[in-house]
Chain A
């Protein structure tokens, strides 16, 4: 449900538990770890919700203003290339101003595309480690 790594989630939950914002509650299925908000946690959530909404609002508003993104899903409503919407169907071509202002996001994406995914670096390091371990073990003939 949450797009969080297991270890990250455990660590975050432990921190919340340490601050007594949540507590462990028993679950009939022993394999499931259930958590519940404490009264302190409920109060904190109530205080945080409007703040969170305001921050969300601010970020989205600035994105719309600066990069011509829309609130629904963040995709632009206009085409970058005017020729593609020549048939008159679909989104309008972007006004010249919006096109130039959207460039920061585009350039970041382009830079990311050329780079190697970090996972491959992890794989390379793991490969070398496993190789070295096998080499060490092979010394005594096994």
Chain B
């Protein structure tokens, strides 16, 4: 969604942006088993709060970035690891811990939530790009022109 705006804004090549995305995907997938172990050891609540804080920090800091390695670090490593916690592992753990009879229903619901998230957010972001310009959905840097960007929390 925001690959092209990023390219236009910073003059990065598609490979640069894709590199951050692939780090993100790699860590998102790889962290699953480790995070499940961490949740067993420390408790789901603590791990979730930590990773949500991590994601929020990472996403907020992307608005201040100036170089492409910062995108790789923030979007790739920080957001990748943070959202890795909120993958299907979490759904399976919750369904397993709280339900016996309706485990299937709950697992299905929680798996569907990821797809629902994309389904909801993609059109929303797309319409924002169309209506307010390319920087609107995230205002990648604070000096963005419109006043909408200045208070839009990323």
Do A and B bind? yes
B1 at the interface (CB under 8 A from A): yes
* Known contacts A6-B40, A119-B98, A123-B94, A135 near B117 by CB under 8 Å: yes
- In the bound complex, residues from chain A placing their C-beta under 8 Å from that of B28 are 137
A87 at the interface (CB under 8 A from B): no
Interface of B is mostly: helix
- With beta carbons under 8 angstroms apart, the residue of B20, B110, B117, B137 that contacts A132 is B117
Could you tell me which A residues sit within 8 Å of B by CB distance?
Answer: 5-7, 118-119, 122-123, 126-142
Tally of contact residues, B, Cβ under 8 A: 43
- In the bound complex, residues from chain B placing their C-beta under 8 Å from that of A140 are 1-3, 17, 20-21, 24, 75
* Known contacts A123-B94, A126-B90, A142 near B24 by CB under 8 Å: yes
Report the bound CA distance from A135 to B59 in whole Å: 12
Say how far B141's CB is from chain A's closest CB, in angstroms.
Answer: 15
- In the bound complex, residues from chain A placing their C-beta under 8 Å from that of B120 are 131, 135
Most chain B Cβ neighbours within 10 Å, of A119, A129, A130, A134: A130
